[in-house]
Structure 1
Amino acid sequence: MNNYFATVARGLEAIAAKELTSLGAKNVRPDFTGVHFQGDKALLYRVNLCARTLFRLLVPIAEVKSYNAQQLYRQVYNLNWAEYLQPNMTIAVNCTGQNQHLNHTHFTALKIKDAIVDRQRKTKGKRSSIDIENPDVLINAHINGDRCILSLDSSGSSLHRRGYHSAMGNAPLKETLASALLDMAEWTPNIPFLDPLCGSGTLPIEATLKALNIAPGLERKFGFQTWLDFDESLWKKVVDEAKEKQLSTIDVPIVGSDKNKNVIEQAIINAKECGVENIITLKQQELSNIQPPAEKGIIICNPPYGKRIGKESELGELYQLLGDTFKQKFTGWTAYILTGSRQLTKKVGLRTSSRTQVYNGAIPCTLLKYELY
């Protein structure tokens, strides 16, 4: 079995660990903003294709000493890069973390790149070109104290980029966070779903993809597809297995609405991009006019809270309207509000049954749960 490390948003480590276990990962161990696990090459492909809550899947290849730039250069130079890279392949290096002597990630990445191409010149007489946009091999370096963990990034671009978000509203949720919120709310495909403030549709679209068991990575490319050891027949098998598990219909409504006509049009475009426009219901509607699409279900919404959209002082009426609408029209439902404002939550006027801390990007937020009796 190989060792892998999946990067995730802060606070979602346990959710991601559970998902990885469901996909067949072994020896799963959550860490800060990531999850360690083990598996074979088929698992590497399957996780990239099917995981809904991860950012990147890294394959650690070496841990070297990195007290300063000179030591890091020597250690990286001494590695056998021909195992992963040929001079006709392009590369890029991303770096995270720092120590006293390596405190600028761009400089650290540059030293690692220099060591790799200098080694190639010495052993092959030629070197790889740099392609920061779409490299054949993307190398991830993480400085932790006087050690540097070097990994191959098997995902390429971040896994939150499903490929359907061609139309975006203001400050949309990342797809990975939307999927994690569905898990945190314990939503399952047999439960009606509503987002009354859906914007460009990320939450209801992610719910629909999950309900139909559509692998989120079917419409994109991955970093491992240009690696020297890429197994095309195994990849095809993994993709075919994922497609065989897809459903074509669901038995409960999944609804998104928003008062803004433009963002609903964006949501419809996004739904068409991933082929679920005939399954999901997306409509322009004022919050005050909304009606339950079923007797019971789950509401999840992400109203503005004055950090990226709107001013906190002007949003109190919206939160009060949310609370009134839930109380008056949604008896029997369970509602969740993701917000980054403690003051605005007081305007909802309902008692929470739980509060879960979560990060929306770098913004600390709370997922509030309301049981509506």
Structure 2
Amino acid sequence: MEHYFATVARGLEAIAAKELEELGAKDIQQEFTGVSFKGDRALLYRVNLESRLIFRVLVPIAEFKCRDARELYRQVRAINWEQYLQCDRTLAVRCTGSNPQLNHSYYTALQIKNAIVDRQRDLFQARSSVDPQNPDLSINAHIRGDRCILSLDSTGESLHRRGYRPAMGLAPLKETLAAALLEMAGWDASIPFLDPLCGSGTLPLEAGLKALKIAPGRLRDRFAFEEWSDFDPQLWKQTLVEAQKRELSELPAFIGGSDRDPEILQQARTNAENCALDRQVRFFQTDIADIEAPCDRGILICNPPYGQRLGETQELVSFYRLLGDIFKQRFKGWKAYVLTGSKELSKQVGLKASSRLPVYNGAIACTLLEYELY
């Protein structure tokens, strides 16, 4: 079994660990913004294809002391890169973390790249070119204290970029966060779902993909592991076929979204077409003041603006009060969830939250408020 490391958004480590367990991972350990686990190559392919919550899967290949740039260079150069990278293949190096002597990620990455290509030149009188956009081999370095962990990035472009969303509203949720909110709300496909402030449609579309058991990675053009020298095309094809066999053709319950802006709603419909959900997930134009519950029970999740700049918060007070009134009057029998980054505005909803779950929207510390509507 190989050792892997999944990177996740801050605060989502526990639900990502649960998802990895469901996908078949072993020896799962939660860390800060990541989860380490073990599995075979089939699991590596499956996690990349089917995870709804993680950003990328790293395969650690070396860990060593690196107190300064000279020691880092020496240690990287000593690695047998020939097993991973031929001179006619491209590479890219990303670096995270730092220590007092290695405190600039760009120069740390440059030092690693130099060590690799200098080794190639000495051995083969040729070297790999750098391609920061679509490299054949993407290398991840993480500096923590006087240690460096070098990993191969099996994913490439982050998994939150599903491939269905070229059209985006002004403040879109990452797809991975939308999927996490659905998990945190305890939503499953048998329960009707509505986002009354849906924007470009990320929450309803993630609900639709989950309900139909469509692997979120199915829409991507490529994964980084497809360029590796040990890539197994037959195993990858089998992974794709097995995922496709699990897909459903019809939603078990209503999934929809609404927005007052017709242009933004058209973006949502375009995104729905891109992931073949345009006949399944319903989008309709309506102002929040006119919204009606589409079913007698269900789960509602919304991500209203939280007013990050001075003066905006005051303007949003009446909007949050309106939300609370609409939940109370028109959504009896439902559970409503509001993601907000403003404690002041959350008080304006005027309803008692039955739970408050901490969550990060990028760098913004937020709360997912739950309201049981009787």
- Identify the TM-score tier after normalising by the shorter chain: over 0.9
Whole-Å Cα distance in 2 between the matches of residues 297 and 307 of structure 1? 30
5+ long unaligned stretches in structure 2 = none
User: Could you tell me how far 1:308 is from its partner in structure 2?
Assistant: 7.9
Whole-Å Cα distance in 1 between the matches of residues 239 and 310 of structure 2? 41
| Partner AA of 1:186 in structure 2 | G
**Which residue is equivalent to 2:283?**
282
**Which residue is equivalent to 1:240?**
241
**Which residue is equivalent to 1:319?**
320
Whole-Å Cα distance in 1 between the matches of residues 252 and 216 of structure 2? 21
1:362 and 2:363 equivalent?
A: yes
Whole-Å Cα distance in 1 between the matches of residues 9 and 342 of structure 2? 20
| 8 Å contact from structure 1 (residues 163, 219) kept in 2 | yes
- The two structures have a TM-score, normalised by structure 1, of 0.99
Q: In structure 2, the residue corresponding to 1:169 is in which secondary structure?
A: coil
| Partner AA of 1:32 in structure 2 | F
Whole-Å Cα distance in 1 between the matches of residues 90 and 200 of structure 2? 35
Query: In terms of mean alpha carbon deviation, does 308-317 or 216-225 score higher?
Result: 308-317
**Which residue is equivalent to 2:223?**
222
Kindly report the root-mean-square deviation, in angstroms, between the aligned alpha carbons of the 2 structures.
Answer: 1.0
1:259 and 2:254 equivalent?
A: no
1:19 and 2:19 equivalent?
A: yes
Residue by residue over 1:12-49, the C-alpha shift from the partner in whole angstroms, topping out at 9 and shown as x without a partner, is 00010000000000111111000000000000000000
User: Could you tell me how far 1:309 is from its partner in structure 2?
Assistant: 12
| Partner AA of 1:65 in structure 2 | K
User: Could you tell me how far 1:310 is from its partner in structure 2?
Assistant: 8.9
Whole-Å Cα distance in 2 between the matches of residues 311 and 243 of structure 1? 46
CA gap of 1:35–1:159, structure 2 versus 1, over 3 A, is same
Residue by residue over 1:108-133, the C-alpha shift from the partner in whole angstroms, topping out at 9 and shown as x without a partner, is 00000000000111112211000000
Whole-Å Cα distance in 2 between the matches of residues 130 and 212 of structure 1? 40
| 8 Å contact from structure 1 (residues 204, 255) kept in 2 | yes
Whole-Å Cα distance in 2 between the matches of residues 301 and 318 of structure 1? 13
User: Could you tell me how far 1:307 is from its partner in structure 2?
Assistant: 2.4
Whole-Å Cα distance in 2 between the matches of residues 308 and 18 of structure 1? 36
| 8 Å contact from structure 2 (residues 28, 36) kept in 1 | yes
| 8 Å contact from structure 2 (residues 331, 373) kept in 1 | yes
**Which residue is equivalent to 1:250?**
251
Whole-Å Cα distance in 1 between the matches of residues 225 and 45 of structure 2? 8
| 8 Å contact from structure 1 (residues 170, 309) kept in 2 | no
| Partner AA of 1:368 in structure 2 | L
Whole-Å Cα distance in 1 between the matches of residues 180 and 122 of structure 2? 47
CA gap of 1:47–1:359, structure 2 versus 1, over 3 A, is same
CA gap of 1:17–1:285, structure 2 versus 1, over 3 A, is same
**Which residue is equivalent to 2:154?**
154
Whole-Å Cα distance in 2 between the matches of residues 236 and 309 of structure 1? 53
Q: In structure 1, the residue corresponding to 2:257 is in which secondary structure?
A: strand
Q: In structure 1, the residue corresponding to 2:54 is in which secondary structure?
A: coil
**Which residue is equivalent to 2:196?**
196
**Which residue is equivalent to 1:105?**
105
CA gap of 1:226–1:298, structure 2 versus 1, over 3 A, is same
| Partner AA of 2:6 in structure 1 | A
**Which residue is equivalent to 2:118?**
118
Whole-Å Cα distance in 2 between the matches of residues 308 and 85 of structure 1? 48
| Partner AA of 1:174 in structure 2 | K
Query: In terms of mean alpha carbon deviation, does 105-114 or 245-254 score higher?
Result: 245-254
Q: In structure 1, the residue corresponding to 2:305 is in which secondary structure?
A: coil
Q: In structure 2, the residue corresponding to 1:6 is in which secondary structure?
A: strand
| 8 Å contact from structure 1 (residues 98, 144) kept in 2 | yes
**Which residue is equivalent to 2:302?**
301
User: Could you tell me how far 1:147 is from its partner in structure 2?
Assistant: 0.7
Residue by residue over 1:324-348, the C-alpha shift from the partner in whole angstroms, topping out at 9 and shown as x without a partner, is 0000011110000000000100110
Query: In terms of mean alpha carbon deviation, does 215-224 or 310-319 score higher?
Result: 310-319
| 8 Å contact from structure 2 (residues 87, 128) kept in 1 | yes
Q: In structure 1, the residue corresponding to 2:229 is in which secondary structure?
A: coil
Q: In structure 2, the residue corresponding to 1:170 is in which secondary structure?
A: coil
- The two structures have a TM-score, normalised by structure 2, of 0.99
**Which residue is equivalent to 1:273?**
274
CA gap of 1:126–1:309, structure 2 versus 1, over 3 A, is farther
**Which residue is equivalent to 2:349?**
348
| 8 Å contact from structure 2 (residues 211, 252) kept in 1 | no
CA gap of 1:117–1:310, structure 2 versus 1, over 3 A, is farther
Residue by residue over 1:184-224, the C-alpha shift from the partner in whole angstroms, topping out at 9 and shown as x without a partner, is 00000000000000000000000000000000001211110
**Which residue is equivalent to 2:64?**
64
| 8 Å contact from structure 1 (residues 171, 308) kept in 2 | no
Instruction: List structure 1 segments (4+ residues) > 6 angstroms apart after TM superposition.
Output: none
- Size of the aligned set, in residue pairs, is 373
CA gap of 1:248–1:265, structure 2 versus 1, over 3 A, is same
| 8 Å contact from structure 2 (residues 64, 149) kept in 1 | yes
Whole-Å Cα distance in 2 between the matches of residues 73 and 369 of structure 1? 51
**Which residue is equivalent to 1:50?**
50
CA gap of 1:309–1:252, structure 2 versus 1, over 3 A, is farther
Structure-to-structure mapping, 1:166-205, within 5 angstroms: 166-205=166-205
**Which residue is equivalent to 1:82?**
82
| Partner AA of 1:213 in structure 2 | K
